[in-house]
A and B are shown apart, each in its own frame.
Chain A
Amino acid sequence: MKFIDEYRQGDIAQKLAEQIAQLATRPLKIMEVCGGHTHTIFKYGIEDLLPENITMIHGPGCPVCVIPLGRVDDAISIAEQPGVIFTTFGDAMRVPGSKTSLLDAKASGADVRMVYSPLDALKIAKKNPERQVVFLALGFETTAPSTAMTILQAAKEGVENFSAFCNHITIVPALKALLDSPDLQLDGFLGPGHVSTVIGTRPYEFVPREYGKPVAVAGFEPLDILQSVYMIVKQVVEGRAEVENQYARCISRDGNRKALEVLFEVFEPRDYFEWRGLGSIAHSGMKLQRKYAAFDAEFKFDVPGLRIADPKACQCGEILKGVKRPWECKVFGTACTPETPIGSCMVSSEGACAAYYNFGRLSKIAERSV
């Protein structure tokens, strides 16, 4: 397929990896912020290609993995109200709340449906005017404009039985929180590509400026990732720290003006938003503006809104910060598996624990830990 296959050529990947090995003269820890990158790295075994002294740390950029228990409970409580059709992306179905998941709620009779796009949820609302249709809106700035566009369309068409339960989050406050965390040791970042189609590369410029760390904003094919790792290693070796754009075919420095406009039209920042594993981060969440309250599930429904601590056994927080690796969690692969996830890193295929588990990297891990 055009714009996919040409970024998957194995011979070039091999050569890139050799170049990286030649450049990297000391151990480096590089974080890929985005869950999409984590997925590519595991699917194509990129860690096996890279030299031993380069460690990829799988960051917090999977919105399904960072949604806190309390918000999942809230979503389930909305889904269980009589007359509600609750719509969500497939990934979110299995995310455990404090007691159950949306999938469990569906099994016990709640009308929970999987959608590909928020527009599909709006369609369901138009087809079922006597029911309340709620869309579980989650994701970074990549997905948030789509929710915003859908709400604008619902407002335009006067679809009163449609609302969104908004859990959208923003990447920059999370990055700042990570960079400020005292136990973090990273040498550079792969910047999230799809988020940047919306926000551009400019918002990352504080990372080299204030923290002296290089950033390469990366595409999602294996060669994209390898080239971005190469860019970061080269920056480190040459003593530079700047934001480089590896994914110039899709993103610019300033991002997508129209998408940003709809974001600002519909949403405003929350004072605080809770991230699973990372705790509360100021201005990291988005909520609907008051003028769109008619489409805000938090206004339409009573939700418990409780803060629930992460399960004790779960070390997602350390894993998201790169302080621990998944296999160092005591319940990894035993009590916690993709079928019975305890922590959210085990849920989505973009989560670090699930990625290690699913792609059979266990032999590799065993080798490295002896």
Chain B
Amino acid sequence: MCLAIPGKIIEIVDAENSIAKVDVGGVRRNINTGMLDDTRVGEYVLIHVGFAMSKIDVHEAEETLRVLKEIGDYQAEFDEFSTSLE
């Protein structure tokens, strides 16, 4: 019910009424972007019940992935560290 899905804006259909076309994994649909400031083609947005709720910040997304991987890498290092004790 509260789910939302990321989609890419592929066309501004009606700028005045804030309607844009998005692509979600190959499925295309018009959504309402009235809750966001100036959306552009190529941007990713989070879509919930036919409305764009927020833009997806590509930089932050990469940062989260970097941190995720770092936590993992630390584990690899820790493993090596602990085996080298024996």
> Does the CB pair B1–A35 fall under 8 Å?
yes
| Cβ contact within 8 Å between A1 and B72 | no
The answer to whether A352 has its CB under 8 Å from any CB of chain B is no
Q: How far is the CA of A220 from the CA of B65 in the complex (A)?
A: 14
CA distance A332 to B35 in the complex (A): 41
Instruction: Return the CB mask of A33-48 against B: 1 if under 8 Å, else 0.
Output: 0111001000000000
Residues of chain B with a CB closer than 8 A to A192's CB? 2
Q: Complex: how many Å from CA A188 to CA B2?
A: 22
Query: Known contacts being A139-B1, A220-B3, A256-B54, is A12 close to B36, with CB within 8 Å?
Result: no
Q: How far is the CA of A39 from the CA of B56 in the complex (A)?
A: 22
CA A3 to CA B44, docked complex, whole Å: 9
Partner of B51, one of A91, A146, A246, A250: A146
Nearest Cβ distance between residue B47 and chain A, in whole angstroms?
10
Contact (Cβ within 8 A) B2 A34: yes
Please give, as numbers and ranges, the residues of chain A lying within 8 Å of B69 by CB-CB distance. Answer: 12
Complex Cα–Cα for A195 and B51 (A): 14
Query: Whole-angstrom distance between the alpha carbons of A18 and B75 in the complex?
Result: 8
The yes or no answer to B14 lying at the interface (CB within 8 A) is no
> In whole angstroms, how far apart are the Cα atoms of A230 and B74 in the complex?
14
The 9 A-B pairs at the shortest CB distance, nearest first, are namely A117-B50, A15-B72, A249-B61, A3-B6, A197-B54, A248-B60, A249-B60, A197-B53, A15-B75
Cβ-based interface call for A215 (8 A): no
Partner of B57, one of A4, A146, A250: A250
Cα–Cα, bound, A64→B2 (Å): 10
B34 touches A258 (CB 8 A): yes
Is A116 touching B56 in the complex (CB atoms < 8 A)? no
Q: Is A119 among interface residues, defined by CB-CB distance under 8 A?
A: yes
Is A134 among interface residues, defined by CB-CB distance under 8 A? no
In the assembly, what is the distance between CA of A3 and CA of B61, in Å? 8
Given known contacts A15-B75, A19-B75, is B44 in contact with A143 (CB within 8 Å)?
no
Interface: B85 (CB within 8 A): no
Interface of B is mostly: mixed
Q: Mark A103-142, 1 if CB is under 8 A from B, else 0.
A: 0000000000000111110000000000000000011101
Interface flag for A49 (CB, 8 Å) = no
Interfacial chain B residues near A64, Cβ < 8 Å:
1
Q: How far is the CB of A196 from the nearest CB of chain B, in Å?
A: 9
| A-contact 0/1 string along B60-86, CB 8 Å cutoff | 110111011101101110100000000
Q: List 12 A-B contacts (CB under 8 A).
A: A2-B44, A3-B61, A4-B6, A16-B68, A35-B2, A62-B1, A64-B1, A194-B4, A227-B71, A249-B56, A258-B36, A350-B1
Q: Which residues of chain A are within 8 angstroms of B75 by Cβ–Cβ distance?
A: 15, 18-19
- Compute how far the CA of A230 lies from the CA of B72 in the bound complex, rounded to whole angstroms: 12
Distance between Cα atoms of A313 and B5 in the complex (Å): 36
Contact partner, A62, options B2, B4, B60, B63, Cβ 8 Å: B2
Complex partner residue of B50 from A18, A34, A118, CB under 8 angstroms: A118
Q: What string of 1s and 0s marks CB contacts (under 8 Å) between A15-40 and chain B?
A: 11011001000000000001110010
**Which of A4, A92, A143 has the most chain B CB atoms inside 10 A of its CB?**
A143
